[in-house]
Amino acid sequence: MAGLALSAASRALAGSCPGDYRMSRLIVISNRVSVPKAAGAAGAQGGLAVALNSALREHRGIWFGWSGQETQEFTGHLDMQRNDDVTTATIDLEPQDIDEYYNGYANRTLWPLFHFRIDLTEYNRDFGEGYERVNRRFADSVHPLIEPDDLVWVHDYHLLPLGSMLRAKGVNNRMGLFLHTPWPPTRLLVSLPFHEKLVTSMLEYDVIGFQTTEWLESFLHYVQKELGLKVNLDNSISYQGRRVVARAFPIGIDHAEFTEAAASEEAQEAHDRLKSSVRGRKLLIGVDRLDYSKGLGERFQSFGRFLTDHPAEAGAVVLLQIAPPSRGDVASYQQIREDLERKTGHINGAHADVAFVPIRYVNRGYPRAQLAGFYRAANIGLVTPLRDGMNLVAKEFVAAQDPEDPGVLILSQFAGAALQLTDALLVNPHSVEHVSEAIRRALDMPLAERQRRHAKLLASVRDFDVIHWRNAFVSALEGKGNNGGRNAEEQAASASVRAA
Ligand X SMILES: O=P(O)(O)OC[C@H]1O[C@H](O[C@H]2O[C@H](CO)[C@@H](O)[C@H](O)[C@H]2O)[C@H](O)[C@@H](O)[C@@H]1O
Instruction: Report the catalytic residues.
Output: 180, 388
> Do strands 175-178 and 207-210 pair parallel, antiparallel, or not at all (unpaired)?
parallel
User: Binder to ligand UDP among 25, 133, 275, 289 (CB under 6 A)?
Assistant: 289
**1, 369 Cβ separation under 8 angstroms:** yes
How far, in Å, CA of 76 to CA of 74, rounded?
6
How far, in Å, CA of 146 to CA of 165, rounded?
13
How far, in Å, CA of 427 to CA of 413, rounded?
6
**90, 30 Cβ separation under 8 angstroms:** no
294 touches ligand X (CB under 6 A): no
Q: Residue 156 binds what, of ligand X, ligand UDP, none (CB under 5 to 8 Å, by partner type)?
A: ligand X
The alpha helices in 120-254, defined as continuous H runs, are 125-142, 162-168, 186-189, 195-202, 213-225
392 touches ligand UDP (CB under 6 A): yes
- Ranges within 153-182 binding ligand X (CB under 6 A): 156, 180-181
* DSSP strands (E only) in 169-261: 175-178, 207-210, 236-239, 242-248
- Minimum distance from CB of 207 to ligand X (Å)? 16
Compute the C-alpha angle 88/250/110, nearest 5°.
70
- Ranges within 358-417 binding ligand X (CB under 6 A): 388-392
52 touches ligand X (CB under 6 A): no
Closer CB to ligand UDP, 45 or 141, in the complex = 45
371 touches ligand UDP (CB under 6 A): yes
How far, in Å, CA of 275 to CA of 116, rounded?
38
- Ranges within 302-331 binding ligand UDP (CB under 6 A): 322, 324
* Residue 478, helix vs strand vs coil: coil
- Minimum distance from CB of 254 to ligand UDP (Å)? 10
Question: Distance between the two ends of the chain, CA-based, in angstroms?
Answer: 50
Closer CB to ligand UDP, 231 or 458, in the complex = 458
Closer CB to ligand UDP, 105 or 258, in the complex = 258
What is the amino acid identity at position 284?
A: L
Binders of ligand UDP: how many residues, by CB under 6 A? Answer: 15
Q: Residue 181 binds what, of ligand X, ligand UDP, none (CB under 5 to 8 Å, by partner type)?
A: ligand X
Q: Residue 322 binds what, of ligand X, ligand UDP, none (CB under 5 to 8 Å, by partner type)?
A: ligand UDP
214 touches ligand X (CB under 6 A): no
Closer CB to ligand UDP, 47 or 130, in the complex = 47
Buried b (16+ CB within 10 A) or exposed e, 139-164: bebbeebbeeebbbbbbbbbbbbbbb
How many Cβ atoms are within 10 Å of 396's Cβ, its own excluded? 24
Interface residues with ligand X (CB under 6 A)? Answer: 32, 48, 156, 180-181, 251, 326-327, 388-392
Which residues sit at the interface with ligand UDP, rule CB under 6 A?
46-47, 287, 289, 322, 324, 365-366, 368, 371, 390-393, 396
